Amino acid sequence: MTDVVIVGAGQAGFQVAASLREQGHPGRVVLVGDEPGVPYQRPPLSKAYLSGALPGERLALRPQAFYDKHGIELVCGRAVGIDRDRRRVALADERELEYGHLVLATGTRNRELPVPGAKLDGVLGLRTREDADALRERIGGARNVVVIGGGFIGLEFAAAAAKLGLSVTVLEASDRLMRRAVSPAVSAHYRELHERQGTRVLSDASVVALHGGHEVTGVELADGSVLPADLVVVGIGVVPNAELAADAGLAVDNGIVVDEHLSTSDPRISAVGDCAVYPSRHAGAPLRLESVQNAVDHARCLAARLTGAAEPYASVPWFWSNQFDARLQIAGISAGHDEAVVHGDPSAGSFSVFCFRAGQLVCVESVNRTPDHMAARKLFTAGGSLGRELLTPGFDFRQHVA
Residues that bind ligand FAD (CB under 6 A): 7-13, 32-35, 42-43, 45-46, 78-79, 105-108, 126-127, 153, 241, 244, 273-275, 290-293, 295, 319-321
Please check whether residue 165 is in contact with residue 253, taking contact to mean a CB–CB distance below 8 angstroms. no
Our CB check for ligand FAD shows the closer of 282 and 388 to be 282
Q: How far is the CB of 246 from ligand FAD (least distance, A)?
A: 12
**Full DSSP string of 374-390:** HHHHHHHHTT---BGGG
Q: Which is nearer to ligand FAD, 216 or 244 (CB)?
A: 244
Rounded least distance, CB 100 to ligand FAD, Å: 19
Count of CB atoms within 10 A of residue 130's CB? 11
Query: Crossing angle for the helix pair 129-139 and 152-163, nearest 10 degrees?
Result: 30
Closest by CA position to 22, among listed 296, 399, 392:
296
Burial class (CB in 10 A: 0-12, 13-18, 19+), 373: buried
Give me the least distance between CB of 402 and ligand FAD, in Å please: 26
Residue 303 beta carbon to ligand FAD: minimum distance, rounded to whole angstroms: 14
* Min CB(107)–ligand FAD separation in Å: 2
Please give the DSSP secondary-structure letter assigned to residue 252.
Answer: B
Per the CB < 8 A criterion, the answer to whether 18 and 74 are in contact is no
Closest CB to ligand FAD belongs to which residue? Answer: 10
What's 178's DSSP letter?
T
Burial label, 2 (beta-carbon count in 10 A; 0-12, 13-18, 19+): middle
Smallest separation, CB 138 to ligand FAD (Å): 16
From the list 298, 359, 333, 366, the residue with the least C-alpha distance to 180 is 333
Cα–Cα distance measured from residue 384 to residue 386, given in angstroms and rounded to the nearest whole number: 7
In the complex with ligand FAD, the residue whose CB is nearer, 30 or 379, is 30
Quote the CA–CA distance of 3 and 381 in Å, as a whole number: 33
- For residues 218 and 273, which CB has a smaller minimum distance to ligand FAD in the complex? 273
Closest to ligand FAD by CB, 211 vs 261, is 261
Strand ranges of the sheet holding 79-83, from the earlier edge strand across to the other edge: 79-83, 88-91, 96-98
Please state the separation of Cα 55 from the chain's center in Å.
Answer: 21
Closer Cβ to ligand FAD, 99 or 319, answer by number:
319
Tell the smallest beta-carbon distance from residue 21 to ligand FAD (Å). Answer: 17
Neighbours of 33 (CB within 10 A): 23
Name the residue nearer to ligand FAD (CB basis): 8 or 149. Answer: 8
For ligand FAD, which is the closer residue by CB, 217 or 334? Answer: 334
Minimum separation from the CB atom of position 79 to ligand FAD (A):
4
